[in-house]
Structure 1
Amino acid sequence: MSRADVRIARVALLWVVVAALFAIPARAQGEGGSMGGFGSGSAPGSDPGSTPSTSGFDRSSTFRTGPPGLTEDLARGMLPVPNAALGLAGSIDAELYRVGPGDVLQLLMWGKVSRSLVLDVGPEGQVLLPGIGTLDVDGRTLANVREDVFRRMRREFRDVQMDLRLVQPRSFRVYLSGRVRVPGPLVTLATSRVADVLTAGQLADDGSRRRIEVRHRDGTREEADLELFNRLGLNTRNPYLRDGDILQVPVATDFVYAAGAFARPGRIELGAIDSLLTLFKLAGDPLPAADAERALLIRFSKPFQPESLWFGLDDVYSNRQNPPLQEGDRLFVYYIPQYHLQHQIEVVGEVARPGVYPIVEGRHRLSDLVAAAGGFLPVANLSAIRVQRRNTGTGAPDPELDRLLRLSRNDLTNTEYEVLRTRLASLKEEFRVDWARLQSNRTQLDLLLRDGDVVRVERLVSSIRVDGEVRRPGIVEFSRGRRAEDYVSEAGGFTDRAWRSRVRVTRSVTGQTLLAKNVSALDPGDIIWVPERPDVSAWQQFQTFLMVAAQVATLLIAVDAVRN
């Protein structure tokens, strides 16, 4: 091939390349587009009037734009933009969200033109609209940017519907200062609000939750109130964060108090513009048991001069009585006396359905409870049903009982110990009921139940327990007609230290403890106790002997004097 032929071939190849370059936009325009890169037809298989899917991008119809020279080419085959909604607390408010560098927006178009366009906000806060130019969006709300983009695009496109949405929020730094655990910079998303960065353990214990100052770079300031947001859901008191914001958390110093019939009574930090109604809301509003006519506000107009304001709940909600709050105000809402008062008792032991049962005081009796519990089991001891009842007493303080309770056993004298046992026993009453006797005399023996009573039905035990100073303490089989000495003998007899004259029997039916010599017949479940004989030293025996001898001598002298 000659040099001329080579030159001709090069020129021909150049013309082919030029023709190919011109063919691409011509083909795009032939599809109906009037602007390089946009077509007029609908997506394959879709209705021209329908909204394109937003779950992902059509690879054959997606543009990505950015600063000129970087992302203005057609991005065929590009992966979908990540779903930025993951991890968000909810949908963002386009009227409040401010666009900035790093945000990724998506412009959807359908109708005569069906395309999606991804708009990256560059470092200078601008987006590129192909064929139109750059648009400054930094610091503007998403709603404002959306309106501006629609206006510009509709100049080029007729009969086209559009939507602009945020698909990937940017991240930026904010700065925490004041009463926070870790002051300094913090990276967060542009969709974050004040509560997102301060409720994750960032606030110090004494940090204010109601007077948080948000300082923006443009010099404007906002005040966040986490209590109004968390308890009442006021988003306006939980503003969006912007690039470079400074969050200043002061010390919480002013408080008010809500007590009584509230859902959340307690101490509440005072906000900047709180009123009585605000305190009602923050305390959870009055309960249904609240007395609608009895609410009291106490405040100090002077350091030592409290003032009282009585009002009804309707006065607050109707704004007739809704004064602004002051530091130290105390609010009391009273309960309705005896409101939905519920009484209940408990039955345990050998009944068909043990458990807790509601009662009406003054109406329900022991027999009613037994019927509700399904009756007795065959193994129940019907001769020793116990009803334990709290003794509320007079309600007056008992200083002597308080003093005795503070002393240890070693510090108590025998007299004080007996006094303590007696007073403690008086705090709980106990009734023992024989069911057979009750059936024969319901009027007198069928006990009226009270709130808090505990009814115990013990298992029938056909044995006697022998404890104390016997050789084989334990359970001995019961046999009718036998006396205490017989059961002691069956338990191996007395030990050397047994105090035989002081043997006691605790009756299972009445709970009384008696000397064994005074008990003619024992019952199943009785307990025999053989105490230990106290040790007596030789000196104590000598003292006893001298005392007895002196008494005898005195008696003899007196008798002799009478005779003479």
Structure 2
Amino acid sequence: LEVVRYPEGQEEPLRFFLTGNGELFAAEAGWSQDLPRPETFFKPVLSGLEVADNIQYPDIQLHADDVIFVRSIPVERKRRFVDVRGEVAFPGTYAITEGETTISQVVKMAGGFTDQAFLGEARLTRREAIRTEDREFERLKTIPPADMSEDEYEYFKVKSRERPGLMVVNFIDLFVEGDTSEDILVTRGDLIEIPSRRDFVSVLGLVEFPGNVLHQPGLTARDYIEAAGGYAEDADKGKARVIRALGGEWVSINDAKTLYEGDTVWIPEQQDRDYWGIFKDILVVTTQILTIYLIVDRATATN
């Protein structure tokens, strides 16, 4: 351990080192006369430090404004930590062995899942893999969608839906079906999140009463729309979609034969049509057709 002390009236701080075998010495020989007097010895307890049984540091009297540094070992250490949140018995931070500990082992450390765990939306986020900045995405945020090229808009949509650092893991296959190929290794900084079970289907957008409808096996997307009061006046029925809780896939309500707990039914608003513009286009085309007809008719009459 290193202690940095700022004596009153001095510009340069004093630095002392406390070693694990009970020694106390100054960083520079000239500071030896300022060494604090050890009173006894102490061992870190429940401090998160990894110490051997025989380590005892000198216990010195600290002064106001003293700073204590715990230096890292200048070699690669194997022990790291991951966070577990949500519906497990004991949410918290757990130590892992890099290259050995898997998802299932961490969940076991956390006491397993509660009865309210919803594995369909459980996720593993590798926070160290999150990119700090995507300059192109940040640039597109400042541009109205109407001014984007087709490729720019597609990229913007994909990035908007992206979950940075999300690892592809199917928790249902792993913990329900027993598929060990999903039991990947965790690494330091990983975050395992287990959301609460949702016993409903969300119906959002242009319906009379947007909200959550209790899930009932066998009901279709249209049944849930009816349960929410039916389509609102400006609903775009042809673009209604089901958003799957598992994976976030968007499918047409005609293709979504079965709905599951946590799914969302989305009904967008019908876009306003430029009827005057449509009328003008039809008028221009009709005029062109009539012009061609008159030209042909006159040519035929002349012959």
Range into which the TM-score falls when normalised by the shorter chain: 0.5 to 0.7
Q: Say which SS state the counterpart of residue 380 (structure 1) adopts.
A: coil
Output the amino acid matched with 2:215: F
Which of 229, 232, 235 is residue 492 of structure 1 equivalent to? 229
Q: Is the CA contact (8 Å cut-off) linking 2:173 and 2:182 kept in structure 1?
A: no
Letter in 2 for 1:420: F
- State the SS of the aligned residue for 1:485: helix
Instruction: Answer yes or no: is 1:507 the counterpart of 2:244.
Output: yes
Contact 1:471 1:493 in 2 (8 A): yes
Matched, 1:404 2:151: no
Query: Does 2:101 align with 1:364?
Result: yes
Equivalent position of 2:210 in the other structure? 473
Among 251, 254, 258, the alignment partner of 1:521 is 258
Alignment of 1:26-175 (within 5 A): none
Deviations 1:311-349 (A, max 9, x none): xxxxxxxxxxxxxxxxxxxxxxxxx4x533543221111
| 2:110 paired residue number | 373
Q: Could you state the TM-score of these two structures normalised by the residue count of structure 1?
A: 0.37
The answer to whether the 8 A contact 1:482-1:522 is kept is yes
Q: Deviations over 1:54-95 (max 9, x none)?
A: xxxxxxxxxxxxxxxxxxxxxxxxxxxxxxxxxxxxxxxxxx
Output the CA distance in 2 between the equivalents of 1:436 and 1:236.
64
Matched, 1:419 2:155: yes
CA contact (8 A) 1:384 1:433 kept: no
Question: Aligned partners of 1:349 and 1:539: how far apart in 2?
Answer: 54
Q: CA distance change for structure 1 residues 525 and 545 in 2, over 3 Å: closer, same or farther?
A: farther
Is 1:462 aligned to residue 246 of structure 2? no
Q: 1:442 aligned to 2:175?
A: no
CA distance in 2, matches of 1:237, 1:408: 66
Q: Name the residue aligned to 1:121.
A: none
Report what 2:189 is aligned to: 452
Distance change in 2, residues 1:343/1:538 (3 Å): same
The structure-2 alpha-carbon separation of the partners of 1:476 and 1:439, relative to structure 1 and needing over 3 Å to count, comes to: closer
- C-alpha change, 1:473 and 1:432, in structure 2 (3 Å) is farther
- Specify whether residues 419 and 361 from structure 1 end up closer, same or farther in structure 2 by C-alpha distance, changes over 3 A only: same
Measure, in 2, the Cα distance between the counterparts of 1:547 and 1:391. 59
* Residue 470 of structure 1: how far off its partner (Å): 0.4
* 1:510 positional shift: 2.1
Partner SS for 1:518: coil
The share of aligned pairs that are identical, in percent, is: 28
Question: Structure 1 residues 423, 490: CA separation in 2 closer, same or farther (over 3 Å shift)?
Answer: closer
Q: Is the Cα contact below 8 Å between 2:123 and 2:166 reproduced in 1?
A: no
The structure whose RCO (Cα within 8 Å, separation 6+) is larger is 2
Q: How does 1:85-484 map to 2 (within 5 A)?
A: 199=9, 226-228=10-12, 230-231=14-15, 287=71, 289=73, 336=74, 339-340=76-77, 342-390=79-127, 392=129, 400-401=136-137, 403-404=139-140, 407=142, 409=144, 413=148, 415=150, 416-423=152-159, 425=162, 427-435=164-172, 438-484=175-221
Pair 1:506–1:231, CA change in 2 (3 A): same
* Alpha-carbon offset, residue 450 of structure 1: 2.6
Aligned-partner Cα distance in 2 for 1:420–1:411: 12
Give, in angstroms, the shift of residue 409 of structure 1: 4.9
Deviation at 1:429, TM superposition (A): 2.3
Give the TM-score, by structure 2 length.
Answer: 0.64
Q: What's the secondary structure of 2:261's corresponding residue?
A: coil
The C-alpha deviation readout for 1:161-210, integer Å capped at 9, x for no partner, is xxxxxxxxxxxxxxxxxxxxxxxxxxxxxxxxxx75xx5xxxxxxxxxxx
CA deviation string 1:504-551 (max 9, x = no partner)? 11111222122211111000111111100011122333256469979x
C-alpha change, 1:287 and 1:522, in structure 2 (3 Å) is closer
Q: CA RMSD in A?
A: 3.9
Change (3 A) 1:475 1:439: closer
Residues 10-64 of structure 1: per-residue CA shift (max 9 Å, x gap): xxxxxxxxxxxxxxxxxxxxxxxxxxxxxxxxxxxxxxxxxxxxxxxxxxxxxxx
Q: Which runs of 5+ in 2 are unaligned?
A: 1-6, 17-25, 35-67, 291-303
- Secondary structure at the aligned position of 1:529 is classed as strand
Rg larger in structure: 1
How far apart are the structure 2 equivalents of 1:543 and 1:536? 13
- Closer/same/farther in 2, CA of residues 447 and 339 from structure 1, 3 Å limit: closer
Aligned partners of 2:91, 2:32: CA distance in 1, in Å?
55
1:228–1:403 distance in 2 versus 1, CA, 3 Å = same
- The letter of the residue matching 1:355 is G
Gaps of 5+ in 1: 1-194, 200-225, 239-283, 290-335, 554-564
2:277 partner SS = helix
Tell me: CA distance 1:370–1:393, structure 2 relative to 1, closer, same or farther (3 Å).
Answer: closer
Post-superposition Cα deviations, 1:346-388, rounded to whole Å, max 9, x if no partner, equal: 1111110011112223322221111111011112123442222
Q: Deviations over 1:102-123 (max 9, x none)?
A: xxxxxxxxxxxxxxxxxxxxxx
Tell me the alpha carbon deviations over residues 218-242 of structure 1, each in whole angstroms, 9 at most, x when there is no partner: xxxxxxxx2346557968999xxxx
> Which residue type is aligned with residue 346 of structure 1?
D
User: CA separation in 2, counterparts of 1:343 and 1:520?
Assistant: 45
Distance 1:386 1:490 in 2: 31
CA drift at 1:427: 3.6
Tell me the distance in 2 between the aligned counterparts of 1:546 and 1:443.
66
Secondary structure of 1:346's counterpart equals strand
Rounded Cα–Cα distance in structure 2 between residues aligned with 1:391 and 1:549: 62
